[in-house]
Amino acid sequence: MRILSIGKTIQHATLNITSIEASALQSHPKIETYNYIIISGGDGTIRRVIKALQSIQHSAAFILNPVGSFNVVAKLHKVPKMEKLLDALANGETLQTQKHHYFTLNEEVFLFSAGNMGDLQHIFLSETLRFGVLKGSMFKYVLASLLLLPIHLIMTPFMLLSSQRFFIFTPAGFIKKFGSFYGEVQEMTIDLENDFNFVELDGDVVTIQESILHIKPAGYISIVTK
In the chain, the number of structural domains is 2
Reading phi first (left if > 0) and then psi (alpha if -120 to 50, else beta), residue 218 is in alpha
- Domain finish residue from 83, 103, 123: 103
The whole-model pTM stands at 0.92
Q: Decide if pLDDT at 111 tops 90.
A: yes
Q: Decide if pLDDT at 69 tops 80.
A: no
Mean pLDDT, residues 204-213 taken together: 96
Q: Distance (Å, rounded) from C-alpha 195 to C-alpha 99? A: 34
Question: In terms of domains, do 128 and 98 share one?
Answer: no
Sequence-separated (6 or more) residues with CB below 8 Å from residue 49: 6, 22, 25, 37, 39
pLDDT for res 85: 96
Mean pLDDT, residues 145-155 taken together: 94
Query: Domain range holding 25?
Result: 3-103
pLDDT for res 135: 86
Question: In terms of domains, do 156 and 74 share one?
Answer: no
Question: In terms of domains, do 85 and 125 share one?
Answer: no
Q: Distance (Å, rounded) from C-alpha 201 to C-alpha 73? A: 13
